[in-house]
Amino acid sequence: MTLDRGLRWGPGLLAVVILALAPLLFSDFYLSAVITKALWLGIAAVSLIFLAGYAGMVSLGQVALYGVAGFTAANLVMADGGSKVALNPWVATLLGLVAAVAVGLFLGAIASRSYGIYFLMITLAFSVLVYFFFAQVTQLSGFGGVNNVELPSIVGNPLQEPARLFYIALVVSAVVYVALRYIARAPLGLAFQGVRDDPERMRALGHNVPLLRAVAFGLGALIAGLAGILSVWWNTRISPGSISLSQTIDVLVIAVIGGLYRLEGAWVGAGVVSVLENWLRGVDLVGNRFNTVIGTIFLLIVLVSPGGLVGIWGSATRTLQSRTSSRPAGDTAVPPNEGGSHALP
């Protein structure tokens, strides 16, 4: 019993304490370059996980959507490059989110009648097209991107006062997480899960399935948009390189490493990947081939544990519990069987 309690509450309390005190525990550089980055990457990844896990839509377009939000906001404030419509940064942020949601709803509507792997392909194609759009339309960005983006005053200067952006990212992450968990259990979320599990039946029950899927995608776009805005604040710039295919794959890797069905997995994965990338850059043996390393880790995780690291932890603690107490192994979320093209592995 004590062990069980320990496993449940101990790490959690530790986590809360460490995160709250992070600016004191870590150097400015680490706080900013690794931890804050992990937070907003986690938000991007959770949008993917939410869509994949709760709505059955594996989307590779989240990075492109956060690019739309980011580029829109960057173009609407004072900056070097872009269209320099100098609006208030908060207004620009809002419009950026609106743009992302609008594009998300539009894309969601177009792809709403496509399922499974086909849907994934379409989102991937759109994602690369968005990248080329911003790379080629120099009026909005061009290859050099938009630099020196004016930030809202509360963010301050992310390089000099990284704690501010850290707390903002932390708060946004927490809000997004709580909101998604709430939605998951609300009627809308249940409808999403119904669509994920059996669209035909949902249609028979009178639901407008394409509409539901479009709405889900729009919601995912909103969350991705939040990540995009944060990424612009973090970088103080945005360029097509920020939303290239390798970034899309990075976010996918994060989501998979963390675990495609657990919302928490987003930040676990983001944390692991950020720390790993920072560490690997200094390791002589790896040298320039860290992409190979990340790719291999990704491959191994997909081959071995579709539930990602979170899945591994879950099985490990379950094993521990079932060995040390008479409690039956808990009602874990079991991924549905692979079958038709609508389900997930």
Question: Is the Cβ of residue 319 or residue 336 nearer to another protein in the bound state?
Answer: 336
Which segments of the chain are extended strands (E)?
Answer: none
Question: Is the Cβ of residue 3 or residue 94 nearer to another protein in the bound state?
Answer: 3
Q: Tokens 């879950």 appear where?
A: 314
Residues 147-206 that bind another protein (CB under 8 A): 147-148, 157, 159-160, 181, 184-185, 190, 193, 196
Does residue 211 belong to the site contacting another protein (CB under 8 A)? no
Q: What is the rounded (10 degree) CA torsion for 234, 237, 240, 241?
A: -60
Q: Which residues of 247-277 are buried (b: 16+ CB within 10 A; e: fewer)?
A: bbbbbbbbbbbbbbbbbebbbbbbbbbbebb
Could you write out the DSSP letters of every residue in 129-174? HHHHHHHH-TTTT-TT-BBS----TTT--TTT-HHHHHHHHHHHHH
Q: Which of 95, 203, 245, 315 binds another protein (CB under 8 A)?
A: 245
Could you write out the DSSP letters of every residue in 196-242? HH-HHHHHHTT--HHHHHHHHHHHHHHHHHHHHHHHHHHHS-B-GGG
Q: Which of 14, 91, 154, 320 binds another protein (CB under 8 A)?
A: 14
Does residue 320 belong to the site contacting another protein (CB under 8 A)? no
Both tokens assigned to 209: 């399935």
Q: Which residues of 66-89 are buried (b: 16+ CB within 10 A; e: fewer)?
A: bbbbbbbbbbbbebebbeeeebeb
Does residue 305 belong to the site contacting another protein (CB under 8 A)? no
Candidates 62-70, 93-101, 121-129, 164-172: pick the segment binding another protein (CB under 8 A): 121-129
**CB 57 within 8 Å of CB 114:** no
Does residue 218 belong to the site contacting another protein (CB under 8 A)? no
Q: Which of 51, 135, 172, 230 binds another protein (CB under 8 A)?
A: 135
Question: Is the Cβ of residue 98 or residue 278 nearer to another protein in the bound state?
Answer: 278
Phi and psi at residue 80, in whole multiples of 5°?
-95, 115
Question: Is the Cβ of residue 58 or residue 97 nearer to another protein in the bound state?
Answer: 58
Question: Is the Cβ of residue 155 or residue 344 nearer to another protein in the bound state?
Answer: 344
Question: Is the Cβ of residue 94 or residue 128 nearer to another protein in the bound state?
Answer: 128
Residues 99-118 that bind another protein (CB under 8 A): 110-111, 113-114, 116-118
Residues 43-82 that bind another protein (CB under 8 A): 53-54, 58, 80
Both tokens assigned to 2: 């004590």
Number of residues that bind another protein (CB under 8 A): 120
CB 231 to another protein: min, Å: 9
Q: Which of 10, 171, 175, 327 binds another protein (CB under 8 A)?
A: 10
Q: Which of 87, 275, 305, 315 binds another protein (CB under 8 A)?
A: 275
